[in-house]
Amino acid sequence: MTAIVEAILAGDQRATGEADMMLESAEWAAAAFARFDRARIARIARAAADVAYAHAGELADAAVAETGFGVAAHKKIKNELTSKALHDLYAAEDFCSARIRAELKMVELPRPAGIVFALTPSTNPVCSVYYKVLMALFTRNAIILSPHPMAKKCSVRAAKLMAEAAEAAGAPLGVIQVIEQPSLPLIEHVMKSPRVGVILATGGTPMVRAAYSSGNPAIGVGPGNAPVLVDDTADLNAAAKRIVESKSFDNSILCTNESVVIAVESIADRLLQSLKAAGAHVAKPEEVAALRELLFGRGTFNIDVLGKSAIEIGAKAGLKLPANTKIILAEIDRIGIDEPLSKEKLCPVLGFLRVPHAQAGITQARALVRLSGAGHSAAIHSKHAPTILAYGAAVKALRVVVNAPCSQGAAGFGTHLAPAFTIGTGYFGSSSVGENVGPQHLVNWTRIAYNADAAEAFGGFDGLDAWAGGPALALGREAPMTLGRLQEGAEAVQNPPPQPPGRAGDTDEMALMREEIRRMVLEELRGALRS
């Protein structure tokens, strides 16, 4: 093909046309998938999770190589958590079966969203794919993933591995698809498609706003900027270790990472010593200025330092750091628009602010979240329940992690929050969901509700198959049988149709007998009509 011909064929409609076909085939897959029972779903999800787990390390390396963000060893942990651990967690729940609630005279039928359109970020590419795919599988949804262009290679590979495994385990063809060449116009096109059931947006604020303005239901989340308050009742050594562990985890690339330590003056110096002992470098004033310039000199957060290690950032800012430095502490004297270092920092640079007492700390934490990160996360290290409660009530964060690393804890690892890489920022943060997003957000329920009057008896629903009683034509009851695979031997069918293969008692003999009975009935019918 000459370049001229290739150029003519490569119009704008090619990408949208391909995407429309993905949506159409996903729609078929979703219709088939919505009929699966829990046991089939369990097998498919297991297969997808297993292959994801097996490639956790390889894809962690690939993500770091492709994006330059984060720490491969930490990404491997996240990949393992979002495959095996997440699978085990979701597998214990049932999003597939009808719930008969006799006490409420109600039957609840799960209704999947259909097609989940999932945007995945460059910062946590592979684990976000894992997490979103597993949520979709457990809720019997088809999913179309659109990875961040910076991380498309590793994300596409992760999605395809899971798709192949799921299909091999019996999933309908097209249930997991991935856009290999994502672009903004293409994403907007898909977002606006009437075929999309729900958009699961993780990414920058513009992307999340686009999802919300698409006209389709969307679950999008805002940015984080977590304060961490340390009061005079805290175990300072433990707090310091947890803060350093959190802030250095995957080079602080999780949006749940701590942004500014707010330390009560009476323990501030001791806390600094403990932080140093745990691997923090405390920047001198001139170093703080250099960091401010490096991170925010251009107005917005410098993407060159996103997910980079403390050592790399030190080198860029002209700091000489010991090789074992895990994070850099930058002491600041205020929270606000006039101190850029009080903004969200997706890198292991942590602000440090002294306050006279816990009450003032709560005020400053509120100010930090007001600046950015509303509805996201906050942490506190304290043994004083009234302070913890007051902090939780005053700060506009929807999860407050206590005496644990915030990066991991707010994302549901090491706390009893739901493990998630989509952290709902709720109404504070212009989001429809305020929890850690889980499978429950991808399924609605039809509620069959009886008259509450005791005179009206509740029906006997136990053991009934929801899809057996209705008009097969309307429900497309048997349509999913081959799940998008070629149906061999479908050439000529006489009335009545043969039973699907593999059904108990469906021997050739029985088929012949049925055929004979059918012939006799037909002859009788025709005879009756003739006379």
Partner 1 sequence: MPDHMPQSPEKREFIAKSKQFWNPAKTQAWQDMGVDLVIDRREGYLLWDMDGRRLIDLHLNGGTYNIGHRHPELIEVLNRGMQRFDMGNHHFPNQGRTALAEMLARICGGDMHYTMYASGGAEAIDIALKTARNATQRRKIVSIINAYHGHTGLAVAAGADRFKKIFLSDQPEDFVHVPFNDLNAMEDALKGRDVACLIMETIPATYGFPMPLPGYLAEVKKLCERYGALYVADEVQTGLMRCGEMWGYQRYGIQPDIMVTGKGISGGMYPIACVVAREPYAGWLKQDGFAHMSTMGGAELGCLVAMKVLEILERPTMRPMVNYIAETFRNGLHEIMKLYPDFFVGIRQCGLVMGLEFDYPEGAKPVMKHLYENGVWAIFSTLDPRVLQFKPGVLMTADLCAEVLERVERAVGLAHAECMERGRHKTRAA
Interface with partner 1 (CB under 8 A), residue from 140, 359, 492, 510 = 492
Whether residue 154 lies in the annotated active site: no
When the beta carbons of 23 and 244 are compared against partner 1, the nearer one is: 23
Cβ(310)–Cβ(328) below 8 Å: yes
Q: Going residue by residue from 129 to 168, which x/- string records binding to partner 1, judged by CB under 8 A?
A: ----------------------------------------
- For residue 468, state whether it binds partner 1 (rule: CB under 8 A): no
- For residue 17, state whether it binds partner 1 (rule: CB under 8 A): yes
**Residue 37, phi-psi category: left (phi > 0), alpha (psi -120 to 50), beta (remainder):** beta
- Token readout for 244 is 């350093």
Interface with partner 1 (CB under 8 A), residue from 473, 502, 504, 508 = 473
Q: Going residue by residue from 225 to 264, which x/- string records binding to partner 1, judged by CB under 8 A?
A: ----------------------------------------
Interface with partner 1 (CB under 8 A), residue from 50, 121, 395, 521 = 521
Interface with partner 1 (CB under 8 A), residue from 206, 386, 463, 497 = 497
Cβ(236)–Cβ(274) below 8 Å: yes
Instruction: Produce one character per residue of 114-135: b if its CB has 16 or more CB atoms within 10 Å, e if not.
Output: bbbbbbbbbbbbbbbbbbbbbb
Cβ(143)–Cβ(136) below 8 Å: yes
> Among residues 127, 255, 347, 406, which one is catalytic?
255
When the beta carbons of 172 and 203 are compared against partner 1, the nearer one is: 172
SS3 432: coil
Selection from 229, 240, 242 nearest residue 270 by Cα: 240
Interface with partner 1 (CB under 8 A), residue from 155, 177, 193, 431 = 177
- For residue 493, state whether it binds partner 1 (rule: CB under 8 A): yes
- For residue 27, state whether it binds partner 1 (rule: CB under 8 A): yes
Segment near partner 1 (CB under 8 A); pick from 122-130, 147-155, 293-301, 522-530:
522-530
- For residue 513, state whether it binds partner 1 (rule: CB under 8 A): no
Cβ(341)–Cβ(194) below 8 Å: no
When the beta carbons of 324 and 487 are compared against partner 1, the nearer one is: 487
Cα–Cα distances (Å) from 325 to 248, 277, 320, 507, in that order, read 10, 10, 10, 72
My answer on whether omega of the bond before 110 falls inside 30° of 0, hence cis, is: no
- For residue 518, state whether it binds partner 1 (rule: CB under 8 A): yes
When the beta carbons of 160 and 209 are compared against partner 1, the nearer one is: 160
When the beta carbons of 416 and 530 are compared against partner 1, the nearer one is: 530
**Please, which residues have CB within 8 angstroms of residue 223's CB and are 6 or more apart in sequence?**
204, 205, 255, 344, 372, 373, 376
**Please, which residues have CB within 8 angstroms of residue 292's CB and are 6 or more apart in sequence?**
330, 340, 341
Interface with partner 1 (CB under 8 A), residue from 92, 337, 452, 529 = 529
- For residue 487, state whether it binds partner 1 (rule: CB under 8 A): yes
* Helix residue ranges, H only, 169-261: 184-191, 205-212, 236-248
Q: Shortest gap between Cβ of 493 and partner 1 (angstroms)?
A: 5
Cβ(520)–Cβ(514) below 8 Å: no
Pairwise CA distance, residues 276 & 337, whole Å: 28
Cβ(79)–Cβ(51) below 8 Å: no
Residue numbers at the binding site for partner 1 (CB under 8 A): 1-2, 4-5, 8-9, 11-14, 16-18, 21-22, 24-25, 27-29, 31-32, 172-174, 177, 471-474, 476-479, 481-482, 484-487, 490-497, 518, 521-522, 525-526, 529-530
Give the residue numbers marked as catalytic: 255
